[in-house]
Copies of this chain bind each other. A is one copy, B any other.
Amino acid sequence: MAATANPFSVSVSSKPTGGSAFPKLNDSADFFLRVQNPLKSVSLRSSFVSRGSIELSLSRGGGSVTSAKRGARSARIRASLSQVMDQSVTKTDPIAPTTVDVDLGDRSYPIYIGSGLLDQPHLLQRHVHGKRVLVVTNDTVAPLYLNKVVEALTKGNPNVSVESVILPDGEKYKQMDTLMKIFDKAIESRLDRRCTFIALGGGVIGDMCGFAAASFLRGVNFIQIPTTVMAQVDSSVGGKTGINHRLGKNLIGAFYQPQCVLIDTDTLNTLPDRELASGLAEVIKYGLIRDAEFFEWQEKNMQALMARDPSALTYAIKRSCENKAEVVSLDEKESGLRATLNLGHTFGHAIETGFGYGQWLHGEAVAAGTVMAVDMSYRLGWIDDSIVKRARDILQQAKLPTTPPNTMTVEMFKSVMAVDKKVADGLLRLILLKGPLGNCVFTGDYDRKALDETLRAFCKS
Chain A interfacial positions (CB closer than 8 Å to B): 130-132, 176, 180, 183-184, 187-188, 190, 192-194, 211, 214-219, 240, 242, 245, 247-248, 250-255, 333, 418-419, 421-426
Contact = CB atoms under 8 A, between A and B. Distances in A.
A180 B333 CA distance: 24
Contact of A418 (B190, B219, B251): B190
Contacts of A251: 183, 187, 216-217
28 contacts: A176-B176, A183-B245, A183-B251, A184-B245, A187-B251, A188-B247, A190-B418, A192-B421, A192-B423, A193-B422, A193-B423, A193-B424, A194-B424, A194-B425, A215-B242, A215-B252, A215-B253, A216-B252, A217-B251, A217-B421, A218-B240, A218-B242, A218-B255, A218-B333, A218-B421, A219-B255, A219-B333, A254-B254
A280 B61 CA distance: 61
Contacts of A192: 421, 423-426
A38 to B, nearest CB: 38
Contacts of A250: 218
A82 to B, nearest CB: 35
A299 to B, nearest CB: 34
Contacts of A421: 192-193, 217-218
A331 to B, nearest CB: 13
A254 B180 contact: no
A314 B193 CA distance: 36
Contact of A190 (B180, B183, B211, B419): B419
Given A190-B423, A216-B252, 7 more contacts: A183-B252, A188-B247, A192-B421, A192-B425, A193-B422, A194-B424, A219-B333
Nearest to A188: B247
A215 B254 contact: yes
A321 to B, nearest CB: 21
Given A218-B254, A252-B216, A255-B218, A425 B187 contact: no
A308 B267 CA distance: 66
Contacts of A131: 425-426
Contacts of A219: 254-255, 333
Contacts of A214: 254
A248 B218 contact: no
Nearest to A130: B425
Contacts of A218: 240, 242, 250, 253-255, 333, 421
Contacts of A255: 218-219
Contacts of A190: 418-419, 423
Contact of A187 (B193, B248, B426): B248
A177 to B, nearest CB: 9
Contacts of A253: 215, 218
A219 B180 CA distance: 20
Contacts of A248: 187
A242 B214 CA distance: 12
A418 B130 CA distance: 16
A425 to B, nearest CB: 5
A420 to B, nearest CB: 8
Contacts of A254: 214-215, 218-219, 254
Contacts of A422: 193
Nearest to A189: B419
A271 to B, nearest CB: 28
A194 B427 CA distance: 11
Nearest to A212: B252
A364 B116 CA distance: 56
A104 to B, nearest CB: 15
A314 to B, nearest CB: 31
A161 to B, nearest CB: 10
A450 to B, nearest CB: 22
B425 A245 contact: no
A245 B240 CA distance: 24
Nearest to A421: B217
Nearest to A247: B187
A208 B269 CA distance: 44
A252 to B, nearest CB: 5
Contacts of A240: 218
Contacts of A194: 424-425
